[in-house]
């Protein structure tokens, strides 16, 4: 059983972060194409993924790509990110099993067309809303590719209209 103790998330379009990521000792490094990348830089960020992978992987960490949930960006993000050296795709703002199933089909098509072993790339849903939390069980079993599910307390609290605290009591 793999225990992933830490994940370093960094915008793939910031060279100094990419160049030094392998020095941080994280179990996984997530190359972010999502919220950390301004809209006008998303196309360039997608082109940087392939170059960034060997740089961040030098320390032996698993490599993930965090894609945009927005369908206007998702297909392009997956096209840039489904690569033999990528271990998984982080899917933010997950709210339903149906979204996961659709994502899995897109990843499977890209794996097939690129000669990547079927099912090799993990899906890591990120729950960021009350609706996502209510559907957590269905989301967690929607794909055999899911090994982890994470909760973003900032966006979750925002969705509830609650101010996040330093000790996280509002999550109870």
Residues 95-139 pLDDT 10s? 999 999 999 999 999 999 999 999 999 999 999 999 999 999 999
Total number of domains constituting the chain: 1
Is 17 contained in some domain?
Answer: yes
Percent of the chain with pLDDT over 70: 99
Is 97 contained in some domain?
Answer: yes
CB atoms within 10 A of CB 109: 12
Q: Distances from the Cα of 129 to the Cαs of 94, 96, 160, 171, in angstroms?
A: 8, 11, 8, 12
- Output 170 or 141, whichever has higher pLDDT: 141
Contacts 24+ apart (CB under 8 A), 38-42: 41/13, 42/68, 42/73, 42/76
Is 168 contained in some domain?
Answer: no
- Structural domain harbouring 20: 7-163
């Amino acid at each position: 059983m793999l225990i992933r103790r830490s994940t370093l998330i960094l915008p793939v379009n910031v060279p100094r972060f990419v160049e030094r990521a392998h020095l941080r000792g994280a179990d996984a490094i997530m190359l972010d194409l999502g919220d950390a990348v301004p809209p006008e830089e998303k196309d360039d960020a997608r082109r940087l993924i392939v170059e960034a992978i060997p740089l961040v992987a030098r320390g032996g960490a698993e490599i993930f790509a965090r894609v945009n949930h927005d369908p206007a960006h998702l297909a392009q993000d997956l096209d840039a990110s489904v690569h033999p050296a990528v271990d998984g795709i982080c899917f933010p703002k997950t709210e339903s099993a149906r979204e996961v199933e659709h994502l899995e089909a897109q990843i499977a098509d890209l794996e097939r067309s690129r000669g990547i072993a079927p099912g090799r790339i993990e899906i890591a849903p990120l729950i960021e809303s009350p609706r996502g939390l209510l559907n957590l069980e269905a989301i967690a079993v929607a794909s055999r590719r899911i090994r982890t599910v994470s909760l973003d307390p900032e966006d979750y609290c925002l969705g509830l209209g609650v101010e996040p605290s330093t000790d996280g009591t509002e999550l109870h």
